[in-house]
Amino acid sequence: MASLNFDASGIDTTSQFDAIPAGDYEAMVTESTMKNTKDGTGQYLELTIEIQAGQYQGRRLWDRLNLSNRNPKAVEIAQKQLAQLCHATGVLQVQDSQQLHNRPMVMKVAVKNDPERGPSNEIKGYKAKGAAQQAAPFQAPRAAAPAAPAAAPLPWAAARAA
């Protein structure tokens, strides 16, 4: 038997692994590692990405980029995703994945529904922080509607005033 002096009453027990809603989140890469694929024929870059603001601040998501794979389409997708991340962080020539760490950007998150495991998150892309505001098309300010002309006094109102 273990002696414990533990009080669970003040501890949040909600799961940290439930899927978060789809959307754009301010985030940054905090860790990165090259790993071998399950079959050992390729490698992927695993990125740990932490949300930096809002309701889900501190939550971590992972992205796996198949940079070396027998499937050329998987490599193409991974290279595009990595290029988006590079542009989003302002690091266009990467020698080491650590160059991408701790640089603010925005990640686009989707919710994937797996019938066996339930909902999970998937990172769909990256963009520079503030890019949404910069990319918005210019709209000229709308002119205010002209004021309605003053109504002519009603004949009976003038009679009452006299």
Which pLDDT tens digit goes with each residue over 26-35?
999 999 999 9
- Tens of pLDDT along 17-72? 789 999 999 999 999 999 999 999 999 999 999 999 999 999 999 999 999 999 99
pTM: 0.71
pLDDT at 133: 44
> Which residue, among 14, 1, 84, has the nearest Cα to 49 in the 3D structure?
84
Q: Domains in the chain and their CATH numbers?
A: 17-130 (2.40.50)
* CA angle (48, 51, 57) in 5-degree steps: 135
- Tens of pLDDT along 124-156? 999 999 865 443 333 444 444 455 555 555 555
3-state secondary structure labels for all residues of 68-127: ECCCHHHHHHHHHHHHHHHHHHCCCCCCCHHHHECCCEEEEEEEEEECCCEEEEEEEEEE
pLDDT at 140: 42
Write the CB contacts of 119 (distance below 8 Å, at least 6 apart in sequence). Answer: 18, 19, 111, 112, 113
